[in-house]
Each structure stands twice: as C-alpha cells, then as structure tokens.
Amino acid sequence: MRNIFLIISTMLLVNSLQANESKVCQKCHPIIYSEYYESSHRKASVYNNPIHKAMWDKHPKDEKGYTCAKCHSPSDLESLQTGKLTENDIQTQEPISCTYCHTIKDVEEGDSSNTNISNGKKREYYTAEKGIKGKAEYKTETSWFGLVKESKSSPFHKIDYDNENYYSGNVCMGCHSHTNNEHSFDITMLDAAISDKDENTCVTCHMPQVLGTKVTIHETKTHAYHGIAGIYHKQKKMGEHIDFKISKTNNNFNVEVINKSNHALFGQAFRQGILKAEIKRNGKTIELEPFIFERILAKDGKEVMPWDANEAIKDTLIYAKRNVVFEQAIKAGDVVTLTLGVQRISDNGAKKLGIEDNKELTKFRVMKTEKYSF
C-alpha cells in the first residue's frame, strides 16, 4: 500500500511541475534532495552564488552573452542556447538539476574546456553501486508467502549501472577539469592530476558515503553525500585526504603538507588555502605568520582578472606535497598546533570583486587540525 501511494503521489507531482524537475526526486529521495538543495550545484547560478555573480558582473560582455551556462546553469536550456540570463525557477532552484547530472553519458574533451554528452533519454538515469551491473526496471519481490513485499529499482525511472564514468569519477570532468580563457590559460587547475594511479576520485572524496537511506521505497544504511563535500560543506571530510609531517632544526621547523587527492588544492581563481601554526610554551601562545596557498594570475607581470591572465606570478598550491618552513625554533615541552583551512575567496579577491562586506565568503573554514608535542 505504501509503495502504491508513493507511485501515485510521484506521478501527480510530475504532472504538476514544469520547470523544477528535481523536485520530483524529493518524493523518493528526501535526504539526498535536502543535501542537493544546500549544495554548490544547486547554488551555482548567478542568482544563488554571490562570487559567481560578482565575477560575471565584471566580465567583459559580447554578443555571445552569458557563456558560463555550460557549467553553472546547464539545465536552463534557453540560457545555454541563447546566452540570455533570466531569473527563473531553473536558475534559482535547479541550475544543475538531478536529471542533468544523472544523464551524462560521456565527456568530450576540449582545448578550452570539456563538454558533457547527455544520453538524451527521459527517465533513464545513470548511477554507480558496487556489485550491481546492468539496467534495472521497477519490480516488487515477495517473501513469507506474499506477506512481505519489497520494491526493487524505481517506479518512476530506469536505472543504468553500467556507465563506468560514474565509478571512476570521470562524470565530473565535463565541468571540473580545466577552464582555459581566451589566452589558453587555465584559471582553475583542477586537471592538475597528482597521479593517474591515485585511489581517490571525485566521488570518493566529494560524495562520501554518509548515514541515511538513499531512497524511501528500498531503505539503505548509507548513501552518497549529495551536498558535495568541499569548500561549502564537510571541510573536515576533505581534511582526511591531507597529511602533515613535521620536523625541526635548531632555528625553525618544517611542515610537509601531503595531498592525497588527485588534483592540486586551492587552484581556482581567488581561492586561498591557509596553514596556521601556533606554539604553546610555558602557558603562553605564540602565533606564527600563516602560510598562504594560492595562485595569483597575471599579465605582463601584473595581477589581473582571470579572463585577462596568461601567467601566474605566484603559485604556492599543494600538488603532491608542499614544504612550508616556519621561522621559529621548537623547544622541549612545546606543543605545536597546525590548522589547515580554506577561504572561498581571498580578502584581496573579495575586494577586487566588490563583495568584501560579505564576511561569509571570506570566512576561514577548518579542514584539518593536528597537535604535536615535543
């Protein structure tokens, strides 16, 4: 009876909605939908993301119009095709919809950026689950002489478990690879791979398994986190993929920051990582000058906006690892605390974009903290 109610209510919801198709998913995937609604994907458009809006407001305009829709609001087909920006339900509620991500068949590599190729099918979605292959359609299985019924798959859509892109994480590479400006200069550095043999993927790091059923009609203990762990949510979850190694000399100490992900950290324009260090000594705290991980984009040796850049005049990003030296001697009895965090945008970047009053954007978000006793 419960399953019949879910099917009927889902169909009624489908018929009542035109633009916000992701809302349909909420009926059977309430936990995942609530995560998605607070995610960077749902907040990718100029109407939801103040950094992106500020960047686009300053970006030179031409006859092509809004050229960021390809990744920031691909579900708005009118904007994607015409370059026109309109504050509508798609832009505010699902610029990157559930359907969009789950119908990416393949990724076409390009010089300036990659392109997602959709399967073009309605209600046939890709997903990944260990130990399951093939295509699944809705059915129910009975046990205990018909007294217990269990739903399999979805009453609303088909599920294809065979797309390897969803297992490797390559499905994310249509948008989260490289973004080259008109000078063929990459302004994101997300394809700066650490190692092809790395065990981590976009999915294992940014969509970790968390508690809660992924669907109501067939309960599971965990599901892939759809809030997208990163600079917006679960920063400490990202810190699990970073290690510190600390060593001392007579006059200073060295911190080796080891990046276990498969891309450089903090490479996006105006992004900033910060390593703080403090020493507890005889009841007093010594705060040291933080180390900044960033890439400053430039042209002719001067810092410029990302679209004008053709070089980097500073690059302290964390690739496989980064050594940081703190000019302070460590003594016996000292306790050293290391804290690595991130700002969505640097103070300097916020000022350049005119959004310095929004302190939420420049807030220091802790990814990892470790203490060392000497």
Give the pLDDT confidence of 165-209 residue by residue, as tens digits. 999 899 999 999 999 999 999 998 887 666 667 778 899 899 999
* Domain range list for the chain: 2-177+201-224, 241-373
Q: How far apart are CA 315 and CA 298, in angstroms?
A: 11
How much is the pLDDT for 9?
41
Average pLDDT, the chain: 89
CB atoms under 10 Å from CB of 62, counted, come to: 8
Q: Which among 128, 135, 136 has a CA at the least distance from the CA of 168?
A: 128
How much is the pLDDT for 153?
66
pLDDT digits (tens, 9 = 90+) for 113-156: 999 999 999 889 999 998 888 887 655 555 555 555 555 667 77
> Is pLDDT at 10 greater than 90 in this prediction?
no
**Averaged pLDDT for residues 29-36:** 97
Query: CA Rg, the chain, in Å?
Result: 23
DSSP one-letter code for 233 = B
Range with lowest mean pLDDT among 18-22, 54-58, 104-108, 138-142 = 138-142
Q: Which among 21, 12, 41, 25 has a CA at the least distance from the CA of 215?
A: 25
Q: Which two tokens stand for residue 80?
A: 């994607």
**Averaged pLDDT for residues 43-62:** 96
The letter for the amino acid at 81 is Q
At 173, phi and psi to the nearest 5?
-75, -5
Q: Which two tokens stand for residue 267?
A: 């490479």
Q: Thinking of the domain 241-373, which architecture would CATH place it in?
A: Sandwich (2.60)
